[in-house]
Amino acid sequence: MRLIAIVTAALLASGVGTTADVAPPPLAVVARALVGTWESSEDTRFSREFRADNTVTDSYEGDPDNSQSGNWLLFAGAAPPPEFAGRKSLVASAYYLEIRENGDTLLFGLTHVDRAALQMVSLDRGNTLTFTRLR
């Protein structure tokens, strides 16, 4: 499988990101790369599964009652969904991931995805989340 690296042309508003002279891959390619089950590098009991039908499930090993499901949407900063259209922190050349679960909307700047690793920055909290692919 071809390595897919997502890089932004400018720093994300949170101050975390990379710059490069490389054009990002098409949105559909990145969306396909996200599909799978990812384990958190910070807390290996936490996993997030992205499905091709745009559903997502967050799970904690050993605690089936603490599982949450919802929907995910990947979009380019140049073409955000209406609820983010006025947000000044979006970089046109970057990709963003919206996750909606249990009435909450989480927004991340996607900084890297390949067949083994996923990294995203929470635009609300500013923290970086790093995952490794389980399947």
CATH assignment of the domain containing 78: 2.40.128.280
Greater confidence (44 vs 85) lies with 44
Let me know: does 46 contact 60? Beta carbons within 8 Å: yes
Residue-level pLDDT at 86: 82
> Residue 105 falls within a domain, yes or no?
yes
Residue 12 lies in a domain: no
> What pLDDT is stored for residue 16 in this prediction?
41
Phi, psi of 4 (to 5 degrees): -120, 115
- H/E stretch holding 59 reads strand 55-60
The pLDDT assigned to 64 comes to 75
Q: What is the pLDDT of residue 23?
A: 76
Domain count, the chain: 1
Compute the mean pLDDT over every residue in the chain, rounded to the nearest whole number. Answer: 85
Q: How confident is the model at residue 21 (pLDDT cuts 50, 70, 90)?
A: low
What does the block give as tokens for 80?
């955000």
Does residue 6 sit within a domain?
no
* Mean pLDDT in residue range 67-95: 92
Within a domain: 116 = yes
- Asked if the structure places residue 5 within a domain, the reply is no
Largest CA distance in the chain: 45
Q: Where are the beta strands (DSSP E) in 61-115?
A: 68-76, 95-101, 104-113
List pLDDT tens digits, range 82-118.
988 888 889 999 999 999 999 999 999 999 999 999 9
Residue 31 is part of which domain span? Answer: 27-133
Report the alpha-carbon distance of residue 15 to residue 64 in Å, rounded: 35
Residue 120 has pLDDT above 70, yes or no: yes
Q: Which long-range contacts (CB under 8 A, 24 or more apart) does 66-71 make?
A: 68/101, 68/102, 69/101, 70/99, 70/100, 70/101, 70/102, 71/99, 71/100
pTM for the structure as a whole: 0.81
Of 8-17, 56-65, 75-84, the one with minimum mean pLDDT is 8-17
Report yes or no on 31 lying in a domain: yes
Is residue 13 in a domain? Answer: no
Alpha carbons 77 and 46: distance in angstroms, whole number: 28
CA 107 – CA 111 distance, rounded (Å)? 13
Q: Has residue 48 been placed in a domain? A: yes
